[in-house]
Structures are given as C-alpha cells and as structure tokens.
Amino acid sequence: MDLRGRVAVVTGGAGHIGRAVSAALAELGASVCVLDLDADQCAAAARQLVADYETSALPLAIDLSDESQVRGVCDAVLRRFDRLDVLVNCAALVGKSELQGWATPFAEQRTPAWRLALEVNLTAPFALAQSCAVALAASGRGSIINVSSIYGLVGPDFRLYDGTRLGNPAAYAASKGGLLQLTRWLATALAPRVRVNSLTPGGVLRGQDATFQERYVARTPLGRMATEEDFKGAAAYLASDLSAYVTGQNLVVDGGWTAW
C-alpha cells in the first residue's frame, strides 16, 4: 500500500476523524491538503503532518457553506501540487453542535439549521466532487471517499439519549443518508476514471455522558465505542490501489452496530 506522489484533499482535516484520515494518507506518502473552517487549526494540523511524516501539507481554511470558496479548492491544490488524486469529504455538522434549532427535540428543530446541515454535509461534497472531477480523472487513480454515518443507514435509538445532553438531529441523518446515495450516483457517473466510495463510522468515544456511553457500548457487538484510529485502515484501503476494483460501495466501520 503506497500513496507516494499522490495528493489528497481532506475536508474537516483539522477535526478528530479528519486528522486520523489525513495521518493515514500521509503515513503512506501522500501530500495532504488540510481543509477546515478555522485557519489556525488547519495550519496546526498541516504542521503536525509534516513533522510526523515528512510529507508536504497545505492548510486551506474555507467555509463549506460558501459555494464560491468550495469551488476554489481544486485550483488552490493544483497551484501547489499540480495534481489531485484523492478527495475525502469528511467535514460535517455533528449532533452535539451548539447551533440553535439543531441538537434539540424534533419539535424544536428549525429549518435554518436543517439548511446549513445540507449545505455542509451534502451540497459541499457534491460541489467538491464536481469541481475536482477533471483533476481526479487526470490522475489515473482518482478516488473520492465520502464519510457518512451509521445514522445515514439506520434510524436512531432515542433511548440512548434519554437524560443526557446529547441530541440526534433529523438533518444530520437526512444529509448523511443523502451522501450515501450521492456516492452510488457518482460511482456510475464518474466511472471508469474515478472511483467513489463511502466510509461509514459508528459512534466515536469523545467524552460523552457516561450513561450514553454505557448504553451505546451495551448495544455494540464489539463492546466498545470507536476511536479515530479505527478508521485509518479503511481510509487507506479506499484511497489506495488495494481497492482498485471497488466503487459505489459503503465500508461500515461500526463495531457491528448495524449488524443487529
């Protein structure tokens, strides 16, 4: 498994899963464009990749809800690296966001939060795929990885959230489910030059309420929540030639959560 000479864009690259995915690709030799909202966090994540893996990294701070910024990503990457091989759509609004009308009971959820979730979680991946398609095809090994969620596959068990500070917005599930279907659509539309697959994580341990953790673990066949390290191998596989005959698929990394 070798990604030397290849260039990857990772949206949400300064976040938890994004950092792990970026590290997995950099460890295999890829140059990585770390794309996120906060310029300081992008720069720090890029510096860490260079320090840890002696690779090239480009920090790029953009707002994924701004289409003009999204469509400028490919040009910025080509100016720096002159190629693009892998696009990982990892950024997302998540369930514990403080956005008003977001992580609240259904009756209190609001359309501005819904629209923002669709912009960031679904529209931005569409626009990035469209604007990067020519460069990805030109690489000869183009790969798009859309990071979805188990809640794009199944409905939430709200009993896990009872009495906790956590929520599960409808917009998150709808946008992540839409991303899975976008994966299948793009896999046929961009074939045979670009492969398109999804990586679907289960719940990640991040200091959630103890009650939630206990309930989640009890419902997981492998008996624990995920760590970011659990997704590195899946991302490396989908980005590399090991998956050269794999497209339109969804690789679920959830400890068996959706196997029930």
- Check pLDDT > 80 for residue 14: yes
What are the structural domain ranges in the chain? Answer: 7-259
Q: How high does pLDDT run on average in the chain?
A: 96
The model's pLDDT over 185-234, given as tens digits with 9 standing for 90+, comes to 999 999 999 999 999 999 999 989 999 999 999 999 999 999 999 999 99
- The predicted structure's pLDDT at residue 187: 98
Each as own residue / partner, the long-range contacts of residues 132-137 (CB below 8 Å, 24 or more positions apart, any chain) are: 132/9, 132/73, 132/74, 132/84, 132/87, 133/190, 133/194, 135/74, 135/77, 135/78, 135/83, 135/84, 136/84, 136/85, 136/86, 136/87, 136/190, 136/193, 136/194, 137/190, 137/193, 137/194
161 is catalytic: no
**Whole-angstrom Cα distance, residue 32 to residue 94?**
23
7-259 is classed in which CATH architecture? 3-Layer(aba) Sandwich (3.40)
The model's pLDDT over 41-85, given as tens digits with 9 standing for 90+, comes to 999 999 999 999 999 999 999 999 999 999 999 999 999 999 999
- Check pLDDT > 90 for residue 97: no
Which one of the listed residues 151, 161, 172, 237 is annotated catalytic?
Answer: 172
- The predicted structure's pLDDT at residue 165: 86
- Check pLDDT > 80 for residue 95: no
